[in-house]
Chains A and B, each alone.
Chain A
Amino acid sequence: MKKLFAVALGILTAIGGFVDIGDLVTNAVVGSRFGLGLAWVVLVGVVGICVYAQMSGRVAAVSGRATFEIIRERLGPRAGLANLAASFLINLLTVTAEIGGVALALQLATSVDPMWWIPVAAFGVWIVIWRARFDLLENVTGLLGLTLIVFAVALFMLSPDWGSLADQALRPGPPADEPVATYWFYAIALFGAAMTPYEVFFFSSGAIEEKWTEKDLAKSRLNVLVGFPLGGLLSIAIAGCAAVVLLPASIDVTSLSQVVLPVAEAGGKVALSFAIVGILAATFGAALETTLSSGYTLAQYFGWSWGKFRRPARAARFHLAMIVCILVAVAILATGVDPILVTEYSVVFSAVALPLTYLPILIIANDREYMGDKVNGRGMNLVGTIYLVIILVAATAAIPLLIVTGAGA
């Protein structure tokens, strides 16, 4: 019974933890412009994140080494530092987007200007990282994030024309009134949102925080293989809601209020409050994960003591680095930059940084010195390599498409 509960808890938190501000905004934007025409990208991204999250968890559990320690070992100090700089800066951009997202969610709930909420959100993120146990922060935000299921419920309550939705999803391709480049730009943004590299840093470091051994691998695989696809369905539901309500009315998504508009239309205030709780939990949870990831990457490259299982004073530089990251994020938001815009850029740059994270994992998962007989099987390597090619194509195309399309304008 206890085991069953643990498995269920793991799956539920994986579902709730899958969606972050990047998924929320990008799916709503894409839904309002292309309907479900890009839903296939979410599926491709979900399979990819399942493959690599599971692989990095296995590497961490078997070898006891987290991702960035291995990246430095395999790439050496110079290429490792370049990788660290890129991964860290993009992650910092994501921290900024998530903290901004928390502030926007609080604005939705209270109508108080988000500027006032930014310091509150940042302090909240810090105090939880400072004081709360790792499993507690994982489970609470993951479970509360499940209220985002209201998007799926809302989609049914809107009683859409399922035939035309299925038609959009099954016949992918740019619509007549949108340029081809814009279609692919959003495809890459959506891919970056689903496969964000911080998930891998967080997943592998989390495996060490929770002291996984090879025995925990089956459980973790189940969490990933069931939880992430259901989280992906949630993403598609968000896009679906936008496709049904926003697309016909040609409403652009420029803030969270448009993201939740279909939910409010379908279920009124009750549904809306569920959506706000869900968005708050999802962005807050992701703010915790990205902030921790920035500490993890730095500490693992330089070999500092790290981990939430230690007292802050026993992992001093790790905690100091995270405090500085939160302060930098607040400083960026204090300039008045739109968090939605930060989010849109963060998912595109995430796509650019994907190979930096995923290639070293694939290499190390084949290294017998670390993995013993738990190295990748042939099938896993085949899938991993196919994804590496997709990732490389997306990463190379991201910046040119960003410039050509004027960030999808």
Chain B
Amino acid sequence: MNDESAQRMPRPDPRAPRGRVLDAHLHLLDRQVLDRDGTPVTTIDDLELDGIELGARIEPGSPAPSVAAILTGPQLLMRIFGGHAPAARRISIPWKLVASVGTTVRLGVGADSLDASWVERWVSRHIIGRIPGGRHDPE
């Protein structure tokens, strides 16, 4: 977060964030994620945070954590029923692919390029796409 402009323009309260403040719980979790073309990809089931250890005490003055990725898939069950998924089993969308955050979260890439949409692709290829008419526009 510390880029040049912040150093050039000192603010009254150095801890106050610049720009629009997003509450992760209110503005990110459970929001719809759309791809570059506006196709729904998933809902934000959970977030992966960097710079913070689970269960560790947070020392005053330590740097703020940052959002590393959007988590989906089995992570939804973890949030509802508790527990942890091993990192290898997580389905994530790196936060750097996010283009904008509004009432939906827009990605800068197409859904088909993401691991997170493999179930959709599998169902499309093996079931729905094989039924006659499945690849045509409705009439």
Contact = CB atoms under 8 A, between A and B. Distances in A.
Interface of A: 63-65, 69, 72-73, 76-78, 80-81, 130-134, 136, 299, 301-306, 308-314, 316-317, 319-320, 369-370
User: Chain A binding site: helix, strand, loop or mixed by DSSP?
Assistant: helix
14 contacts: A65-B103, A72-B30, A76-B29, A76-B30, A130-B134, A131-B139, A132-B138, A301-B43, A312-B128, A312-B131, A312-B135, A316-B124, A316-B127, A320-B127
Given A320-B123, A369-B103, A305 B131 contact: no
Contact of B128 (A132, A134, A316): A316
B124 A314 contact: yes
Interface in B21-66: 29-33, 39-43, 45
Chain B interface bracket (under 10, 10 to 19, 20 to 34, 35 or more): 20 to 34
B139 A133 contact: yes
Given A65-B32, A72-B43, A131-B139, A305 B120 contact: yes
Given A314-B124, A319-B128, A131 B30 contact: no
A77 B80 contact: yes
B40 A305 contact: yes
B39 A305 contact: yes
B91 interface: no
B68 interface: no
Given A65-B104, A369-B103, A370-B103, A303 B135 contact: no
Nearest to A132: B138
B71 interface: no
Interface of B: 29-33, 39-43, 45, 72, 76, 79-80, 103-104, 111, 119-121, 123-124, 127-129, 131, 133-139
Given A64-B103, A305-B111, A131 B138 contact: yes
B32 A303 contact: yes
A304 B128 contact: no
Contacts of B120: 304-305, 316-317
B41 A313 contact: no
A106 B29 CA distance: 48
A80 B32 contact: no
